[in-house]
Chains A and B, each alone.
Chain A
Amino acid sequence: MSKRIEVNDLDVYYGSFKAVEGVSVEIEPRSVTAFIGPSGCGKSTVLRTLNRMHEVIAGAWVDGEVLLDGANLYGPGVDPVNVRRQIGMVFQRPNPFPTMSIRENVLAGVLLNNRRMSRSDQDDLVERSLRGANLWNEVKDRLNIPGSGLSGGQQQRLCIARAIAVSPDVLLMDEPCSALDPISTLAIEDLIEELKQEYTIVIVTHNMQQASRVSDKTAFFNIAGTGKPGKLIEFGETTKMFSNPSVQATEDYVSGRFG
């Protein structure tokens, strides 16, 4: 299962401050879309609006629409909890639940929602998710130790396993490798390549090489200056964005002339 996301003329606010202005992108199912741009340009903010995590911050709100297979996430009567069950998220810093074991962390989506599930189904789900996150072989003998006892890269893959265990349609990743070493980064990038077969993936990254390695399409965000809203400058095929962008600012950024 994998769904299409369409963002139409989205403005994102923190209180009265307009953080991002006029974003319109179309994200195809079973593809990887990368958001790149300098710090503070609003790429993480836009990512968080895609599963309504933006409004968790006090005073944050959006104007515009985000369509998931045609259904507006911000339509009247939409329960953000239902949205988040279909659109999973992996954060910048690995954040396994410290009170839970590895196994419980993977099952968190089930256990925390008080859903009943037989022991054997749980075992299947744990193995499937951990295999999906390329972590099974490393932890299969110690599923009952606390998740916080793993290394940073393993913790991040545990968080990915936790996110895919609830079988979302879309997976959002907010700089998933920025706290990791090159080896763990490679493991996660390989994983993204595999997950692409089943999920729509949107990834925010500061690392342009990473964007060019893993993504099919790239969106470049930029900001005119402090206090001004961030804007989507260009959106297109990754190969074109990195070789022959149509906007000068994109070329300056991807070639390292600024940012």
Chain B
Amino acid sequence: MTTTTTAPRRETSNPLTAGQLPAWGPWALLGVAVLIGAAVSGLVAGASGTDFSIVSTVVIGYVIYLVAITVVSQLIEGGRKATDRLVTGVVVGAFALALVPLVSLIVTVVINGAARFDMTFFTWTMRNIVGEGGGVLHAIIGTLLVTLWAAIISVPVGIFTAIYLVEYGKGALSKAITFFVDVMTGIPSIVAGLFAYALFALFAGEGVRSGFGGAVALSLLMIPTVVRSTEEMLKLVPNDLREASLALGVPKWLTIAKVVLPTALAGIVTGVTLAIARVIGETAPLLIIAGFTTNMNYNVFDGRMMTLPVFAYNQYVSPGVQEQAYFDRAWTAALVLILIVMVLNVAARLIAHFFAPKAGR
């Protein structure tokens, strides 16, 4: 039976198949295109006496590839596949282009920051340090404390605002809140810093500096982000669940506290972490209200407090006699800041993973 049914199939061609490029085809085309690009760039470099340019090689190669793959695919595979190959090429190109600054930034920071990535850097402050040595312990502690306080202020405010908007708010008040939250999203960070300074100057007089003031400034930037993301997450909770709970005779506030919030918890935690990541790198407001210092300060309510972004800025703008030592410290501070944000993001992922509603069997 098998032989009789398969035999004719081998002889007659399947009407559903069409011409197809082999899997290695696009790659071969890409290789040839880049070689042509390299040749053209080499010729131009040789003729004009300039250096060989990798950028022009890539750009010329990319354009040649796009044209070639479209033409070849059109001839062999037909119009629909040709369009598909062209658009695939454009999309991948856009993706690679977007990655260039990101990768370049990470590579630069890691290379430059590695110089001072040592124990001294994490265990010393800058007290009495001129030139080489010193560390950023005071700035790490400062950044963590200021951000912690900013989170303590903005997370409850943000989450309760979002709960009001989604669960209770209707009419003019809720529209006004939504509008002002949108406006707050656009506040320049320097304005938040000036506001915090003006606010604290009212109580403590001119020239006031404190970590808590920085936290207030950061919370102005953080609240709208927390409100927005929490609002979106609460809206994602199916109405079925609220109704199921209400129909059991559960009051509305308990429904929100014990059904809606736990269901949305993973998303809310992710949103809060992203909001923290957004403000932890803020420099301008902290420069005004938290100031800078070379000493350790554990008290957010009194005195100047160093933070990592301000530290990096400060080291870069006003280097001392041994410039390189200051630049190295600035780069390493930037690297540490990136690492902190990364750890926060990983932590958010883990929390989201463990709290997410499971559909196991």
* Chain A residues in the interface with B (C-beta under 8 A): 51, 53, 56, 58, 81-86, 88-89, 91, 93, 95-99, 108-109, 111-114, 145-146, 148-149, 159, 162-163, 166
- Compute how far the CA of A108 lies from the CA of B262 in the bound complex, rounded to whole angstroms: 14
Name, among B242, B250, B265, B361, the residue most crowded by chain A CB atoms within 10 Å (CB to CB): B250
Residue from the list A58, A93, A113 in contact with B249, Cβ < 8 A: A113
Whether A84 lies near B357 (C-beta < 8 A) is no
**In the complex, what residue of chain A is closest to B258 when comparing beta carbons?**
A112
- Compute how far the CA of A101 lies from the CA of B185 in the bound complex, rounded to whole angstroms: 39
Main secondary structure of the interface of A (DSSP, over half): mixed
**Shortest CB distance A174–B (Å):** 10
Whether A95 lies near B262 (C-beta < 8 A) is no
Whether B247 lies near A148 (C-beta < 8 A) is no
**In the complex, what residue of chain B is closest to A96 when comparing beta carbons?**
B244
Whether B244 lies near A145 (C-beta < 8 A) is no
- Compute how far the CA of A93 lies from the CA of B239 in the bound complex, rounded to whole angstroms: 11
Whether B249 lies near A98 (C-beta < 8 A) is no
Per-residue CB proximity of B260-272 to A under 8 Å, as 1/0?
0011010000000
Per-residue CB proximity of B341-361 to A under 8 Å, as 1/0?
000000000000000011111
**Shortest CB distance B87–A (Å):** 38
CB-CB under 8 A for A99 and B262, given A51-B247, A146-B360: yes
- Residues of chain B from 16 to 75 with CB closer than 8 A to chain A in the complex: none
Whether B360 lies near A109 (C-beta < 8 A) is no
Whether B262 lies near A109 (C-beta < 8 A) is no
- Residues of chain B from 213 to 264 with CB closer than 8 A to chain A in the complex: 238, 240-251, 254-255, 258-259, 262-263
Residue from the list B170, B248, B259, B361 in contact with A88, Cβ < 8 A: B248
- Residues of chain B from 118 to 161 with CB closer than 8 A to chain A in the complex: none
CB-CB under 8 A for A53 and B251, given A95-B241, A99-B262: no
CB-CB under 8 A for A148 and B251, given A84-B246, A91-B240, A93-B240: no
List residues of chain A with CB within 8 A of the CB of B263: 97-99
**Shortest CB distance A113–B (Å):** 6
